[in-house]
Chain A
Amino acid sequence: MRAPLSSDTVVVGVGNTILSDDGAGVHAARLLQGDPRVPVGVTILDGGTLGLGLMPYVSDASRVLFLDAVNMGEAPGTRVRMTGKDLLGASSGFSVHQLGVADLIAALALASAGPQDIVVLGVQPANTDWGTSLSPGVEASLSWMVDAALAQLLLWEGGK
């Protein structure tokens, strides 16, 4: 039971699957869980909205890929790739509004342990009301999120 809870590379889908597009990252993670192209040994998790509660699952990993809904104020389905540093820098000086991925990344940095590489792949949601399905624009970006995640995993795999 001393073993870490995750492997060296972890993919975490983040979001709430009962709030429509907010769950986009979790839907993408679930697709990856059944995808044979994912390199052996990668852990893929449904992280829900657990925030700091995800620490034990990511702090022992060297590389963490977050899949999440990201509000950019852009058209629904708009895609974004960020690094952990982008979010860490951005969160400094702002009010901490909710304890989510940005705070998790900050906490990992503060605990002076944690992953060397953090990448966030995001998609702009259209609708975050109660519901279990994605709106069309976000649904259309899901395959991009899966492909971009696979590309990132292969890049990390090659860099080992």
Chain B
Amino acid sequence: MARIVVDPVTRIEGHLRIEAEVDGGFITDAWSSGTMFRGIELILRGRDPREAWIWAQRICGVCTMVHALASVSAVEDALGIEVPENARLIRNIIAATQTIQDHVVHFYHLHALDWVDIVSALKADPAKTSQLAQSISDWPLSSAKYFKGVLDRIGALVASRQLSLFGSGYWGHPAYRLPPEANLIAVAHYLEALQFQKQFIRIHAVLGGKNPHLQTFLVGGMATSLDPNEPNATVNLERIDFLMEVAKSAQAFVSQVYIPDVLAVAGFYPDWFERGEGLGNFMCYGAYPQRSVKDPSNFFFPRGIILNRDLTKVYPVDPENVTEYVAHSWYEYSSGSSIAKHPYEGETNPKYTGPKPPYEFLEVGQKYSWLKAPRYQDKPMEVGPLARFLVAYASGQPDVKALVDSTLAALKAPPAALFSTLGRIAARALETQLLASRLVGWIQELAKNLSTGKLEIHNGKMWDPKTWPDTARGFGSFEAPRGSLGHWVEIENEAIKNYQAVVPSTWNAGPRDAHGQRGAYEAALIKTPVADPERPLELLRTIHSFDPCLACAVHMVDARGRMLGRAEA
């Protein structure tokens, strides 16, 4: 029995530490410790709820818009505001763009290197690589000359010892199985994905203002100007053409590069369809309203819960049933650590009781994480693309059902294969494909409204605080790329009284609760093989399959050459 520590887990956003017991080459128990420190209410208390989104979008350094969206939705819920159809469409377009972008970046730039050996790619034969690439996809960038060029660039990088983003890999690890030619294809697509994400995110520049942080959210709708013929309008017919062109290029990239790459990787690592299963409980708040934002039954991704891997039943989700434990988290509740609290009653009283750094191991029997432990009716839940897909599949969502069934048939795998590390990766890729197609559809709907003179984009009926009740509470949610995001706002006398955000990685990366139930990462690591405890590549595969994001933290440059997470207090 040996304890291994991975700290920091590399190629993620934010700071995560994993400790695991290894016995006979397999993980027998695991603990996840994150440094995400909660306390957005400290910033928001007393502010105008209509401005909450501007602050809330800084919670996460990466997908800022998901917090903006959840925040305006929470305030709209509290005040009973229905947003116009155009605002709903533009929000769907912005959100789908963010998700597609994040999934592509996650697969190629954060996760692929768990499966792809960069150094092995150097041994590839460009002509054979070209043959292999053409056998799996019609993507045009596939000539021997093209791959020779990629090979030369990587060779130069390795020779100059400036591996930079590639610097943290376990190159040469025996768990890598791709032949050199497949590795070279993946490296080429790593570089192409860098270019892709750069072009694709221009959809946000069109709809959100030419600024890295979207400027156009508004309680009651969007602050986007719509006019078919006005050259200066944010959305006119020319801009629609541009959005459509970018969306179609995304469809091409996803279906001809991303999906074939995921299937190719899956083909070499089929045993990872049997590993990394985890909790077996999955939750989705639902996302992408097709009609009223108030009625989750029309959402493109349905709201629901799956328990104990049972795909024959979908349970309802009531946000009232979400609570958070701090039994193993470095916080104190005024009512004691063993009771869970609903976010409306949420408290953030940090109290670090862990070992003084530098230390070897955390005191995992006591408190060991800055993350709280969210639970739904006292049950731990996995959230993310796999949860969305399983809830949609079990709900009979026709697009999801067709795509999942055809993919499983192609892989000759049963639905149970989805409960795995590769299941998460496949669900993320298929979701990207589906959203790229829906993106085109939503842009078409917007174009139709534009051409028929349906231009309403903001409902200002409740804009004036004098129209508000003295007290109001609201819940706003979104399915962020990494999973279910909920914001809870409490308004009193025209100002924010309390505000809490329960982010996706708290569900997945959180520690045990007062009953000792493991969080999703902790459960998924059980039975994961570890061939070399010094280089636990297999552990990273499962953790990365969740797309960890603990970036609700500082991002300062460390002049000693690496980025610093939040210092452990």
Contact = CB atoms under 8 A, between A and B. Distances in A.
Interface stretch (A53-61, A139-147, A150-158): A53-61
B219 interface: no
Interface stretch (B205-213, B259-267, B481-489, B531-539): B205-213
A1 to B, nearest CB: 4
A4 to B, nearest CB: 10
Contacts of B105: 52
Given A14-B555, A96-B11, A109 B162 contact: yes
A72 B555 CA distance: 14
B198 A56 contact: yes
B164 interface: yes
Give the size category of B's interface with A: 35 or more
A71 B10 contact: no
B275 to A, nearest CB: 25
B564 interface: yes
Contacts of A19: 553-554
B560 A16 contact: no
A50 B64 CA distance: 8
A38 interface: no
Nearest to B562: A94
B55 A18 contact: yes
Given A19-B554, A128-B566, A112 B153 contact: yes
Given A5-B202, A18-B40, A130-B42, A70 B558 contact: yes
A82 B561 CA distance: 12
A122 interface: yes
Interface in B187-212: 191, 194-195, 197-199, 201-202, 205-206, 210-212
A141 B390 CA distance: 52
B556 A97 contact: no
A11 to B, nearest CB: 13
Q: Binding site of B, secondary structure by majority: helix, strand, loop or mixed?
A: loop
**Most chain A CB neighbours (cut-off 10 Å) among B42, B109, B561:** B561
B205 A97 contact: no
A71 B212 contact: no
Contacts of A99: 13, 62, 563
A20 B269 CA distance: 45
B59 interface: yes
Nearest to B241: A1
B242 interface: yes
B165 A56 contact: no
Given A91-B167, A94-B167, A109-B162, A5 B210 contact: yes
Given A55-B197, A128-B566, 19 more contacts: A19-B553, A49-B555, A51-B13, A52-B197, A56-B199, A93-B161, A94-B167, A94-B562, A95-B8, A95-B562, A96-B168, A97-B565, A98-B563, A100-B555, A100-B563, A110-B165, A111-B198, A112-B153, A131-B43
6 contacts: A1-B238, A15-B554, A45-B211, A70-B557, A102-B557, A102-B562
Q: Which 10 A-B pairs have the closest CB atoms?
A: A49-B61, A90-B561, A106-B164, A98-B563, A69-B556, A49-B555, A22-B554, A1-B242, A94-B562, A72-B559
Interface of B: 8, 10-11, 13-15, 37, 39-40, 42-43, 55, 58-59, 61-62, 64, 101, 105, 109, 153, 157, 161-165, 167-168, 191, 194-195, 197-199, 201-202, 205-206, 210-213, 238-239, 242, 551, 553-567
Interface of A: 1, 5, 14-19, 22, 45-57, 59, 68-73, 80, 82, 87-103, 106-107, 109-112, 120, 122, 125, 128, 130-132
